[in-house]
Amino acid sequence: MDEAKLHDLVGQFLHDLGGAFSIPLVRIGTQLGIYKSMVEEGPATCEKLAKQTGLNERYLREWLSAQAASNYISYDHANKTFCLSPEQAMILANDSSPVYLAPAFETAVAFIDNQDSVQKAFKTGEGVGWGDQSQCLACSVAKFFRPGYKNHIVQEWIPSITGIQEKLKSGAKVADIGCGHGLSTIYMAEAFPKSQFVGFDFHEKSIEDARKHAADHGVTNVSFEVGLAKEYPGKYDFVTFFDCLHDLGDPVGALKHVKDSLNKDGKCMIVEPAAGSNLKENINPVSRLFYCASTMCCVPTSLAQEVGAALGAQAGEAKLKELAVDQAGFKTFRRANETPFNLILEAGI
């Protein structure tokens, strides 16, 4: 045994355990509005923050100490004050930031709630249906993806798809497949009022929530319908998958249906988790998160559906191209854009 390697590994586990133990604390900070109060207040003592937030000082002091030890907030020993740096605020307090990660802690709780069902499936090989998983999972996933969608779909991803931005500006028909709570659909509809958008999802409760979100946003050029990815009706100029193709039981069947539903010169945009084409390329912090999520959510969801392809969240571009071109019959396929968390792929007929 190499003792130096052992010590390094123990250090890594301690770091990971600190993050795991922080899950309820970050949720408390978000749900009680502590992070946002700290941004508004600026550097402040625990006593001042307790008065500002109306929270018990003793509980708050322990929470602040844990957050400072985690480097989630900053502490000035000389003045006994706590604050969020601009960088910390971007991650924990600014829900419009592209790196707002607080909702990921909510998703972690949903995965823990899923443990019993997924653990049983390890023995049976059966799936765990999306509607049978933790009821907070759909909400937490929507919150987790929202910052990325809000900051990238209209500004960067759509402009990178050949000829689509011009069509959307003049008026096009768009289908957003696996739309969930409909945030991706709504952001597109708000940006392109001359186009018509339909969001499809097989989860009825998510569609109900999507309709409520659309009403709250006052968007009138969007509708939401319960429908399967390989059965939705209509012809479209643009079809989108946002972080959901790998969750489908039959992704090839879905892609074939998309190809048939596209008008001439139509395009399909496939947004998938960032991944290399093999495990060696995916030994990194981002892929680590996605493999964990895939184990607890994506693979069980796919296995519960017809075919049960179970691509997993780290299928990678090469595998997705094989599905789209070799099996579904798309003529063109390319990487149009990317972020540290996503691949943005264009498929054309």
- Tens digits of residue pLDDT in 70-129: 999 999 999 999 999 999 999 999 999 999 999 999 999 999 999 999 999 999 999 999
Summarize pLDDT for 316-337 with one digit per residue, the tens.
999 999 999 999 999 999 999 9
Domain boundaries, the chain: 3-92, 102-348
| Number of Cβ within a 10 Å radius of residue 146 | 18
Contact 287, 316 (CB under 8 A): no
pLDDT digits (tens, 9 = 90+) for 22-71: 999 999 999 999 999 999 999 999 999 999 999 999 999 999 999 999 99
Alpha-carbon distance of 290 to 103, in angstroms, equals: 15
Categorize the per-residue pLDDT at 138 as very low, low, confident or very high, splitting at 50, 70 and 90.
confident
Alpha helices by DSSP H, listed for 262-330, are 285-293, 299-303, 317-321
More confident residue, 136 or 307: 307
**What are 228-270's pLDDT values in tens digits?**
999 999 999 999 999 999 999 999 999 999 999 999 999 999 9
Q: Residue 159 has what pLDDT?
A: 98
Rounded to whole angstroms, the Cα distance separating 312 from 247 reads 7
Q: What are the percentages of helix, strand and coil residues in the chain, rounded to 5?
A: 55, 15, 30
Cβ-based neighbour number of residue 190 at 10 Å: 16
- The domain made up of 3-92 has a fold known as Arc Repressor Mutant, subunit A (1.10.10)
Residue 16 has pLDDT above 90, yes or no: yes
Question: pLDDT tens for residues 175-218?
Answer: 999 999 999 999 999 999 999 999 999 999 999 999 999 999 99
- Phi/psi zone of residue 166: left (φ > 0), alpha (ψ -120 to 50 degrees), beta? alpha
The pLDDT, as a whole number, for residue 283 is 97
10 Å Cβ neighbour count for 33? 14
Between CA 263 and CA 149, with CA 145 as vertex, the angle to 5 degrees is: 50
CA–CA distance from 232 to each of 149, 235, 259, 306 (Å)? 23, 10, 12, 16
Tokens, residue 134: 């933790």
Supply the mean pLDDT for the chain: 96
At residue 140, the pLDDT reads 87
Evaluate if residue 136 carries a pLDDT over 80. Answer: no
Fold type of domain 102-348: Rossmann fold (3.40.50)
pLDDT at 154: 98
Instruction: Show the DSSP H helices in the chain as ranges.
Output: 3-21, 23-31, 34-41, 46-53, 57-69, 86-92, 102-113, 115-124, 137-152, 164-170, 183-191, 204-217, 251-261, 285-293, 299-303, 317-321
Checking if the pLDDT of 135 tops 90, the result is no
- Coil, helix or strand at residue 177: strand
Instruction: With cut-offs at 50, 70 and 90, classify the pLDDT of residue 8.
Output: very high
Could you tell me what percent of the chain has a pLDDT over 90?
96
Angle between helices 204-217 and 183-191 (to 10 degrees): 30
In angstroms, the CA 289 to CA 312 distance is: 12
| Residue 56, both tokens | 């018990």
